[in-house]
Amino acid sequence: MRFKSLQTLKILLFLAVPASFYAQDLETLPKIISYTDQVQVKVHVDSYLENYFISGEGMDEELKLATNNDLRLTGLFDYKIFSFSYSFTPGFLPGNDDNAERGDSQYQDFTVRLFPGQFVQEFKYQRLKGFYVENTDVLFPDFFDNEGYLFFPDLKRTFYGGSTSYVLNPDFSLEGLLYQRKWQRVSAGSFVPSFNYSYARLKNDFETYTGVENNFDFSLDVSYYYNAVIEEQFNIAPYAFGGIGTRMSTYERSGEEYNDKESNTYFTTEYGAGIQVGYNTSKFLMGARLNYKSLSYTNENDTSLKDDSWYGLFFIGYRFDPPEKLRQTTERLGL
């Protein structure tokens, strides 16, 4: 009887010791794996759409302006605290070459991001040209029967903007979730307040005058992200956001027919939500995201404008060791 008890005790000790070491190992492993010492290159393909809904006193229907861009292609480069991306809408992608029916549209977007600590800093330049009235058949039924869509081929929108965000939970990685520069090993969530600021200029040349609109926007958003780690290499992350702000706008017409200027100040509200799924290894990564955002504002004359943007996104990327010259340069800079 004593012999059996000793054997049982030995078996229990044999099982318990490895288990205790395993539990201790889980506690000592980092909750977030960083890949910032590697170069990361990615490609995004998304159905980014930016529409404008304009309505005001005396208008029975909203005027819906859209660009002839169904798919956007983005190339990204990440190393250390820097991230660079360039987006455009090449004609070889499906839905970007329907110029005969919806007019010619051009799109360019250049973004720089920095990740100091728990901050995320972003600067963006964007340029769009060429819009069409998507609901031409409702607003101008006779024109629609004969011509298709009403075009504004010379309408240009130039955008300079930025945002400053702070992640409240240090155990949650926003740059890991949205930019794949890190990988979350333990499920976590966080509120992320953001301050956004931008200047946008819209210009259109008509037959007898030129119209120019200048917009200065400032807003404060609060987002919540939750990154659920399903397996060691898979995650799913829902998120939602909302915010308020102000827009200071001026519109000026100059030319043979008009020479006037008006100013407006708007109160803005925005909201949105999305979900992302991802797969990650030390070298290879991929994933997909669905996102919706709505921005609306109204002035004292009850003139309202609503800007809706929604997209589905697929990304794929690869990480590799940096070239020696790049590594030495960043070391000399103390990065």
pLDDT band at 18 (very low <50, low <70, confident <90, very high): very low
Residue range 159-168, pLDDT digits in tens: 999 999 999 9
pLDDT band at 97 (very low <50, low <70, confident <90, very high): confident
Q: Residue ranges of the alpha helices (H) in 136-275?
A: 136-139, 141-147, 174-179
The average pLDDT across 86-93 equals: 90
The average pLDDT across 179-187 equals: 94
Q: Which two tokens stand for residue 37?
A: 């010492």
- For the chain, how big is the Rg over CA atoms in Å? 26
Q: Which two tokens stand for residue 139?
A: 């607003």
Give which of 27, 72, 31 is closest to 48, Cα–Cα: 72
Share of the chain above pLDDT 90, in %: 51
Residue range 223-266, pLDDT digits in tens: 999 999 998 899 999 999 999 999 898 888 888 777 888 888 88
247 and 269 in contact (C-beta within 8 Å)? no
Residue range 221-231, pLDDT digits in tens: 999 999 999 98
pLDDT of residue 144: 60
Q: Is the pLDDT of residue 20 over 50?
A: no
pLDDT band at 319 (very low <50, low <70, confident <90, very high): very high
Residue range 148-182, pLDDT digits in tens: 788 888 889 999 999 999 999 999 999 999 999 99
Q: Is the pLDDT of residue 1 over 60?
A: no
More confident residue, 154 or 298: 154
pLDDT band at 56 (very low <50, low <70, confident <90, very high): low
Residues 6+ apart with CB under 8 A from 271: 240, 241, 242, 243, 293, 294
Give which of 139, 234, 150, 127 is closest to 187, Cα–Cα: 234
Q: Which two tokens stand for residue 247?
A: 């827009």
Residues 6+ apart with CB under 8 A from 58: none
pLDDT of residue 26: 44
pLDDT of residue 158: 94
Give which of 267, 263, 264 is closest to 246, Cα–Cα: 267
Q: Is the pLDDT of residue 11 over 60?
A: no
pLDDT of residue 317: 97
Q: Is the pLDDT of residue 23 over 60?
A: no
Mean pLDDT score of the chain: 84
The residue count for the chain: 335
pLDDT of residue 16: 45
pLDDT of residue 134: 81
